[in-house]
Chains A and B, each alone.
Chain A
């Protein structure tokens, strides 16, 4: 069953096509990796999917939702899609714990105004922070965390959302091997729990290890897609992405 259906999606920056009538179907419950050379449109695709960038034409259908053009970021999140960012975007001058608690808050203003912090909410935040090994840092400002810890906190924030569809934009970038293993284990757990994942990544070993399906982008179009073992051997992919 399709968790995400993209049809004829186009996005241009000052006349340059970043996404060129791109169509893609993402199956539910599996990890789809999107790879491609720099400037191929990977991050643009994620930004468009999450409503952070407007697009010119095409449609995006999340889950069983109806095709709706030009959804706002808020509406997209409410349909069960969330993400991490290539450049980590935490709530820096808030504590680690508050970075998690904030996404566990009820969305409507009137609910948030009168919501009291329940024990179960605190426990959920505690469980998530323990999972990413940041519980000890719960009272620290997010700003004071190391780069790897910041990446983990961003993933923890996504875990707190319990979204059915999660987009991970280069979650391993800049991490040392021990941290890569930790993030990789968390991603495997998410997939095992049935979350549909879209992963943008440059490390081919991790792609082979994690991805059920690989989509190769080039110039805003799909160059190839299929199982990792198959796709990464194709000459056109090697030429476009890996070089000669």
Chain B
């Protein structure tokens, strides 16, 4: 049972991350490969604030979101000068920088050793430290992220985002300052990723830089491409699928000596097959 709850919590965390990136890539067309950096900043904010300042989960979550919002605003300003492949490469570079800071600013982050968290997860006076309670908290935050995504998708703002994705020059001709729109959605996406990071840190009770490297950003990208671009339900479905798939492969009777490698190979193969036969993802509304 604990194993299932553990998987469900990770599905919720990756669901939030997938929604956060889908707003940026699926709805706005910005190929961002840096979501793990914001995820990591949120996680480190919670770890540092709870261990050094004895702040509760709620406070560290909010402060983490605020810090990431400011950082992502500044990064977004720089990125606004770029487009297409250059944008993707620059976001990847930002992820590398953040991981390098986590590794090397030892006085703050404890370097590669990471930070262990010993405090309980409390919010509004309620204790969410037990696994079932933490699952409820994770699902609540996932629901909140979905609600924000749904509101944005249905709003006039969301409609402009889609137009930017389709033809940025054309929508500019109609008087929209697309730079501001892109900046706002980039910050919202980063803030949601920070919330997922905060949740991750509180659940695992430990953070280290390896959890937020570029391969994590690529994994989040895979989740939304597989689940479906510009589809919030697809984000959640993709998260469930990609979190469950390696777990399910554990139950396939691979030879002990090569089980891990075979699981990875089969996992990769299944993704390739899915992309070949369903390039828009499981529930996608938009193709890259």
Q: How large is the interface on B (under 10, 10 to 19, 20 to 34, 35 or more residues)?
A: 20 to 34
Asked, given contacts A74-B172, A107-B175, whether A112 binds B166 with beta carbons under 8 Å apart, the answer is: no
Minimum C-beta distance from B196 to chain A (A): 22
Bound Cα distance from A50 to B170, whole angstroms: 10
Minimum C-beta distance from B148 to chain A (A): 11
Interface residues of A in 36-67 (CB under 8 A from B): 50-52
Residues of A within 8 A of B159 (CB): 94, 98, 101-102, 105
Bound Cα distance from A101 to B155, whole angstroms: 11
A-contacting 9-mer, from B3-11, B136-144, B176-184, B262-270: B176-184
Count of interface residues, chain A, beta-carbon cutoff 8 Å: 33
Bound Cα distance from A73 to B174, whole angstroms: 8
Bound Cα distance from A76 to B163, whole angstroms: 19
In the complex, A113 has a CB within 8 A of chain B: yes
Asked, given contacts A92-B166, A93-B162, whether A117 binds B156 with beta carbons under 8 Å apart, the answer is: yes
In the complex, A135 has a CB within 8 A of chain B: no
Whether B174 contacts A91 by the Cβ 8 Å rule is no
Q: Contact partner of A102 among B163, B172, B178, B286, CB < 8 A?
A: B163
Whether A103 contacts B174 by the Cβ 8 Å rule is yes
B-contacting 9-mer, from A77-85, A181-189, A228-236: A77-85
In the complex, A12 has a CB within 8 A of chain B: no
Minimum C-beta distance from B132 to chain A (A): 36
Residues of A within 8 A of B172 (CB): 51, 72-74, 77
Residues of B within 8 A of A51 (CB): 172-173
Whether A91 contacts B167 by the Cβ 8 Å rule is yes
Q: Contact partner of B160 among A52, A85, A93, A105, CB < 8 A?
A: A105
Whether B162 contacts A105 by the Cβ 8 Å rule is no
In the complex, A120 has a CB within 8 A of chain B: no
Q: Contact partner of B157 among A82, A98, A101, A112, CB < 8 A?
A: A112
Minimum C-beta distance from B158 to chain A (A): 9
In the complex, B285 has a CB within 8 A of chain A: yes
In the complex, A115 has a CB within 8 A of chain B: yes
Whether B160 contacts A112 by the Cβ 8 Å rule is yes
Give 1 or 0 for each of A100-121: 1 = CB within 8 Å of chain B CB: 0111011101001111010000
Whether A91 contacts B162 by the Cβ 8 Å rule is yes
> 7 tightest A-B contacts by CB?
A77-B175, A91-B166, A105-B156, A73-B172, A112-B157, A115-B156, A89-B170
Please list 14 pairs of residues, one from A and one from B, whose beta carbons are closer than 8 Å in the complex, sorted by A's number. Answer: A51-B172, A73-B173, A82-B175, A90-B166, A91-B163, A93-B162, A93-B165, A93-B285, A94-B163, A105-B156, A109-B177, A109-B180, A113-B155, A115-B156
